[in-house]
Amino acid sequence: MVLESKSDPSEEQVRVAESSPIIEEAIEKTNHVTEEREKEPLSSGTRDLPKFFYTAMEQVAKKEGFHDGQYAVEVEDGSSKGDGFVGELFRAFLTEGDRREVYLCKIPPLNEARREQFGTMQIFEREALVYNKLLPLMFAYQEEKGVAREDGFFNVPKCYYAHYDGQTEEAIIVMEDLRVKEYNMFNKEKPVDYEHARLTMELLGRYNAVSLALKHDRPKEFEQFKIHDPMKEMMGPGNPFVMMLQKTAMDAIETLEPHETKERTKMQKLLDTIVADIERYDNYELAEPYAVLGHGDCWINNMMYRYRKGAPEQVILLDWQSARYSSPILDLAYFILCCTDEEFRRRHYDEMMTIYYNSLATLLEKLGHSPQQIFPRTAFLRQLRQYGRFGLMLAAFVVPMLCTRNEDLLDMDATAEMFRETQSVDIAIYTKNTNQSAYRKRMSAVIRDTPVTSLHLPVG
């Protein structure tokens, strides 16, 4: 499921640098951390940051060699209207003498209603688990196998600190700011082009290869990777998230022409069974023995690219709050159907699937496994037919966000407050500012193109 809608084309790693003048004026404050004095919350916009934020920054400062009482913490607010279902972002600076380091910090929503309605704490628990245990295991496994960084999967932000405490509702992720390394976001309002899609398919292939190989080499250790979708907490009857899914599915039907009866029937069936379908796709046992640790929120705003002479050469995968054990096809279908357009899929869909599979097979071989034994191409094709429709469900929800300017996205705090007070919400506001022309074109094409995910790819 889609967890964060970003506030500008520079996602969680970038948008913190693009605060409005009003916010910037309000947050020009510095908190000098000393060993003895009690830390006071630093004003961020009209809100105060919780004490655990500064406790986390103390831990980061110690690990990074800053000296107690000699460094300062400065914070910029990176969240605004429309940002994030389950998190808020801040850019933190540690300064000591001539040294100045910058970090991206993500915490649960400060708004209590939003934390309650969108299953925040379970999702932060998931991301902390991924950064603290699962990704380090994947990296160490590849290194033990002698896989070079350029040949394997190491494409994530450096995490300096990840903490979760469900009882106190405290959670924070502190990451590197990838802007420093000249990574940038792709504009979400534009369909993804060939080079960006190629890099992404290669990345997903390598990522899935590590899961498959690790599962065969260390089955007992791999058991901790078999984690359920944290979004299940948001799928109960009457939950505002479910209401949004249903509303966007109904809107998707209306993007079709009257004569497109087959496509209308397809979407109506999706609408009628959307919750049951999501539960079925989340049942990883149906995907075995090919289930992997999936990313879970694999759309363009959760990736950053570094460029050389205008062309993308590296990609980083962000935001691990929706990671879950599932079919590898879920991430593929999500990305291809949500982030590319009709012309791209017509010209390059088969090639993209081949690029993905070849990337996966190449790394499996480097890890000492035969692709035909671990994940045969025929099994990959069967998984495509079985799970390809998953992308359509998510597209109905994501495409409206892709076609809405960041400043016009839904105010999640206000929506959560409304639902808590009235137990109802006007879900129509979710898409009221969407560029309807762009939305109709992209969404109707996704509906028409969904059967293409059932086609056989050329073998070889």
Please name the amino acid found at residue 273. Answer: T
Q: How confident is the model at residue 334 (pLDDT cuts 50, 70, 90)?
A: very high
Q: Can you give the pLDDT at residue 394?
A: 87
> Is the separation of the CB atoms in 359 and 200 below 8 Å?
no
pTM above 0.95, yes or no: no
- At 198, phi and psi to the nearest 5? -60, -50
* Predicted local distance difference test score (pLDDT) of residue 112: 73
Contact 335, 219 (CB under 8 A): no
Q: State how far the Cα of 342 lies from the Cα of 333, in Å rounded to an integer.
A: 14
Which tens digit of pLDDT belongs to each residue from 6-56? 334 344 454 433 333 333 333 343 333 333 333 333 333 335 899 999 999
Side chain identity at residue 457, one-letter code? L
- Domain 187-449 sits in CATH 3.20.20: no
User: Smallest Cα–Cα separation from 135: which of 318, 368, 357?
Assistant: 318
Q: Domain ranges in the chain?
A: 187-449
Averaged pLDDT of the chain: 83
**Portion of the chain with pLDDT greater than 70, in percent:** 76
Q: Is the pLDDT of residue 65 over 70?
A: yes
Minimal CA–CA distance to 85: which of 69, 108, 103? 108
Q: How far is CA 340 from the centre of its chain?
A: 17
Rounding to the nearest 10 degrees, give the CA dihedral for residues 399, 400, 402, 408.
-170
Residue with tokens 């979407």: 267
CA distance linking residue 428 with residue 366, whole number of Å: 50
Mean pLDDT of 113-133: 84
Return the pLDDT at 240.
Answer: 66
Question: Residue 139's closest CA among 127, 149, 129?
Answer: 149
**Is the link from the previous residue into 289 a cis peptide, with omega within 30 of 0?**
yes
SS3 label, residue 183: strand
Q: What is the pLDDT of residue 297?
A: 93
Given pLDDT bands bounded at 50, 70 and 90, which one contains residue 121? confident
* 130 or 15, higher pLDDT: 130
- The CA distances from residue 94 to 19, 30, 41, 71, in Å, are 19, 10, 16, 7
For 400-456, the pLDDT digits (tens) are 888 887 766 666 655 555 555 555 555 555 556 678 899 999 999 999 998 643 333
HSE, CB side, 13 Å, CA atoms: give it for residue 389.
15
Answer yes or no: is pLDDT of 85 > 90: no
Q: Could you tell me the pLDDT band of residue 232, with boundaries at 50, 70 and 90?
A: low
pLDDT reported for residue 94: 98
Residues 84, 16: Cα–Cα separation, whole Å: 13
